[in-house]
């Protein structure tokens, strides 16, 4: 599909004005996330799985970090940006830089919104920036991942060191091994 046909499709959809593309993009990005069809026409697809709170947070975290670096948004999430104090007026280059950072922050928040389940997004719903939202996610789920790792190591150690005691019956030993294996499965 060439650029003219993309512009005509977007123009007829009512979401894009080819004569003022920048304003159209800003309007789309400022709308609440809810209609991904609008965003998919202008933003790259994010191949990372949706984090639902049960899967491996560390894998999701690393994949999202790589994706954000690839599309040039990681520095906005990692470093954040300072909005000027209320009543401060920026002009020229400073105003353009701030507008660009706000735009990138909205993009990053959009990707975070589509790559976590709704109930997880409620944790950072009122975060004022993508950096704050990312920090909330990391603090919430890294702790859980660390606890699971510790439990997993503990169960592995118990499994490796398990042996039947002299007064223990086969049934009791088997029950103890089943409990360890169940603990391993739960914390995988």
pLDDT in tens, 42-61: 556 776 777 777 767 888 88
Q: What is the Cα–Cα distance from 23 to 58, expressed in whole angstroms? A: 37
Pick from 103, 101, 99, 125: nearest CA to 112: 125
Q: Which domain holds residue 84?
A: 32-143
Report the pLDDT value the prediction gives residue 39, as an integer from 0 to 100.
42
For residue 53, tell me if it sits in a domain. yes
> 81-135, pLDDT tens digit by residue?
777 777 777 788 877 888 888 889 988 888 888 888 888 888 888 888 889 998 9
> 10-35, pLDDT tens digit by residue?
444 444 445 555 555 555 555 554 44
For residue 128, tell me if it sits in a domain. yes
Report the pLDDT value the prediction gives residue 30, as an integer from 0 to 100.
55
For residue 56, tell me if it sits in a domain. yes
Q: Which residues of 77-93 are buried (b: 16+ CB within 10 A; e: fewer)?
A: beebbeeeeeeeeeeee
Q: Is the pLDDT of residue 177 over 70?
A: yes
For residue 23, tell me if it sits in a domain. no
Task: Tell me if 159 sits within 8 A of 180, measured CB to CB.
Answer: yes
Report the pLDDT value the prediction gives residue 152, as an integer from 0 to 100.
80
Q: What is the Cα–Cα distance from 107 to 96, expressed in whole angstroms? A: 17
For residue 95, tell me if it sits in a domain. yes
pLDDT band at 38 (very low <50, low <70, confident <90, very high): very low
Gyration radius from the chain CA atoms: 24
For residue 72, tell me if it sits in a domain. yes
Q: How many domains does the chain have?
A: 1
Pick from 40, 60, 43, 64: nearest CA to 52: 60
Report the pLDDT value the prediction gives residue 27, as an integer from 0 to 100.
58
For residue 165, tell me if it sits in a domain. no
Report the pLDDT value the prediction gives residue 3, as an integer from 0 to 100.
46
For residue 164, tell me if it sits in a domain. no
């Amino acid at each position: 599909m060439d650029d003219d046909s993309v512009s005509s499709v977007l123009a007829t959809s009512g979401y894009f004005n080819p004569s003022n593309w920048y304003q159209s993009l800003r309007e789309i990005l400022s709308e609440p996330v809810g209609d991904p069809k609008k965003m998919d026409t202008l933003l790259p697809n994010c191949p990372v799985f949706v984090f639902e709170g049960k899967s491996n947070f560390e894998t999701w975290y690393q994949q999202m970090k790589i994706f954000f670096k690839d599309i040039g948004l990681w520095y906005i999430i990692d470093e954040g940006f300072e909005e000027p104090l209320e009543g401060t007026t920026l002009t020229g280059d400073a105003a353009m830089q701030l507008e660009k950072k706000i735009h990138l922050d909205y993009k990053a928040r959009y990707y975070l919104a589509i790559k976590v389940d709704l109930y997880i997004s409620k944790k950072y719903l009122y975060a004022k920036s993508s950096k704050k939202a990312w920090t909330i996610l990391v603090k919430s789920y890294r702790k859980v991942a660390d606890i699971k790792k510790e439990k997993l190591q503990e169960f592995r150690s118990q499994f490796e060191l398990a042996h039947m005691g002299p007064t223990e019956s086969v049934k009791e030993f088997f029950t103890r091994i089943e409990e360890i294996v169940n603990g391993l499965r739960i914390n995988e």
